[in-house]
Chain A
């Protein structure tokens, strides 16, 4: 591993530990950055045996130096805190807890969703501001402002560094899982521009893996990781060599990542044994069915969607369920289930309706639905896909 690799792998862990030692995210980041600057000059060819511990120790010493030069009350307080810490920084337990605490702080629901995402990618993912800005196609100044404001709010409003207690945990964990899910989704089906921004997918998977390691007893955490792995596994087949979107039924299954699928399936089995199904576990189970054997068992998928809809009666779930209904009971019944769905601005609703209408031979209505979907589609690849479908329809029937 080179210095860049160490940075990406260790940055979050080091900032988390220094945040505990210093009681302030800003000071912690400065100290860790100082330490990496020292590492650039000192590490030359060979890395120390435990680079993360080296960075933490150096950062701590740098922080003490820095605080000695400052004379504010806050600096003296932080310095006293630091000097009284015993030298047990490499212990696994507290370091893991540090990271977990920081995850919950970054994803605190008192912060805006974009701030939660940006902070998580910056502090835990070790991404630089320009990388985050590029990933979300927003100006660097916007991201940097959000991060600065969020860190300030954490300090000024007294957002704590701690893992929520059992009573609060379900709600707060949901917020953490949402952030990781949204990061992955933004990478997978970005709202604009390119269809796949794989870096964000990889970052989300990496963070979900870390969370699953930290909270191995939370089935929804395992469920989220399984869902991301099973979705990620199909990525190589999702876009054709010429850059066109390929629907599940037409995907070349030999291009799926077998290793990720095996890992995802093992996680789903672990969740099944726990028997505490939640939305992420159910979505993972649906994806496990999709990736099991040569074709999808739609009856099983529909049963899982029924369960998911009962837990989470949202129009998006109902829309996805309709696709399974079409496979099991035919497009007429599926079309009827779409009637009352209210999803303004969501291109997949008219796109799905167009597909059902096509299968029912109601061509004129299908064309109109495709037109509606094309107008709403956010990225070029999806728009091209819909235009191709619409063109095929027009040519066979007129």
Chain B
């Protein structure tokens, strides 16, 4: 069993959606999460605030500095994510497809480092 991060790639430069559209989207993603729980693959889910709410902490040479805003200035930001358990990538990809359909955003599928990568 491996764990996979299903990360929502959110285009923050896109115009904001209507409240009704947001609610409909939340209902759809909630349904996918319920499906994951029923299938026994669900580990975690979370939606994130936009990246303008983020702060980056750096500690070069032991001195702490804070920076306002996201780590990298790109259009695509992490919008939210699921963590699931799956037998293999194919299973994770099936869930990623459901997630992408539900939130209408690209989903990056990334395996967790389970300590097996040594070579």
CB nearest neighbor in A for B113: A156
User: Within residues 40 to 75 of chain A, which ones have a CB less than 8 A from any CB in chain B?
Assistant: 72, 74
Contact A158 B119 (CB under 8 A): no
Residue numbers in B under 8 Å from A155 (CB-CB) = 116-117
B interface residue count range (under 10 / 10 to 19 / 20 to 34 / 35 or more):
10 to 19
> Shortest distance in angstroms between A173's beta carbon and chain B's nearest beta carbon?
14
Q: Which of A156, A160, A164, A168 lies in contact with B111, CB distance below 8 A?
A: A156
Q: Which of A26, A72, A152, A157 contacts B89 (CB under 8 A)?
A: A157
**A110 pairs with B89, CB closer than 8 A:** yes
Nearest-CB distance from B69 to chain A (Å)? 31
Chain B, residues 72-94, CB within 8 Å of chain A (1/0): the string is 00000000000000111110110
Q: Does A133 contact B (CB under 8 A)?
A: no
Counting chain B CB atoms within 10 Å of each CB, which of A110, A152, A164 scores highest? A110
C-alpha spacing A152/B109, complex, angstroms: 16
With the chains together, A164 CA to B89 CA distance in Å? 12
A136-162 contacts to B (CB < 8 Å): 152, 155-160, 162
**A13 vs B74: C-alpha distance in the bound complex, in angstroms?**
46
Please tell me if the beta carbons of B111 and A158 are within 8 angstroms of each other in the complex.
yes
> Is B88 within 8 A of A159, CB to CB?
yes
Nearest-Cβ distance from residue A102 to partner chain B, whole angstroms: 15
Determine whether the beta carbon of A156 is less than 8 Å from that of B119.
no
Chain B min CB distance to A112 (Å):
15
Tell me the complex Cα distance, A35–B119, Å. Answer: 22
Q: How far, in angstroms, from A72 to B90 measured CA to CA in the complex?
A: 28
Contacts of A159 in B (CB 8 A): 88-90
Q: How far is the CA of A110 from the CA of B92 in the complex (A)?
A: 12
- The interface residues of chain B lying within 8 Å CB-to-CB of A110 are 89, 93
- Whether A158 and B88, one on each chain, are in contact in the complex, defined by CB atoms closer than 8 angstroms, is yes
Q: Is B37's CB within 8 Å of the partner chain A?
A: no
Closest to B117 in A: A156
Cα–Cα distance between A155 and B113 once the two chains are bound (Å): 11
Tell me the bound Cα distance from A155 to B115 in angstroms: 12
Please indicate the chain B residues that have their CB under 8 angstroms from the CB of A158 in the complex. Answer: 2, 86-89, 92, 111
Nearest CB of B to A151, in Å: 10
Tell me which of A26, A152, A156, A160 contacts B90 (CB under 8 A): A160
Minimum CB–CB distance from A111 to chain B (whole Å) comes to 11
Provide the bound-state CA to CA distance between A162 and B90, in Å. Answer: 10
Give every chain A residue within 8 A of B109 (Cβ-Cβ).
157
Instruction: Tell whether, in the assembled complex, residue B88 and residue A156 are in contact, meaning their CB atoms are under 8 Å apart.
Output: no
Q: Which residues of chain B come closer than 8 Å to A108, judged between CB atoms?
A: 89
- Contact in complex: A160, B93 (CB < 8 Å): no
The A177-224 residues at the B interface (CB cut-off 8 A) are: none
Q: How far is the CA of A158 from the CA of B89 in the complex (A)?
A: 5
- Spell out B's residues near A (CB within 8 Å): 2, 86-90, 92-93, 109, 111, 113, 116-119
Closest 10 A/B residue pairs (Cβ): A160-B88, A158-B88, A158-B89, A158-B2, A159-B89, A157-B89, A157-B111, A156-B117, A160-B90, A156-B111
Chain A positions near chain B (C-beta within 8 angstroms): 26, 72, 74, 108, 110, 152, 155-160, 162, 164, 168
Given A156-B117, A159-B89: 7 more A-B contacts, CB < 8 Å: A74-B116, A108-B89, A155-B117, A156-B116, A157-B109, A158-B89, A160-B89
10 contacts between A and B (CB under 8 A): A26-B119, A152-B119, A155-B116, A156-B111, A156-B116, A158-B87, A159-B90, A160-B87, A160-B89, A168-B90
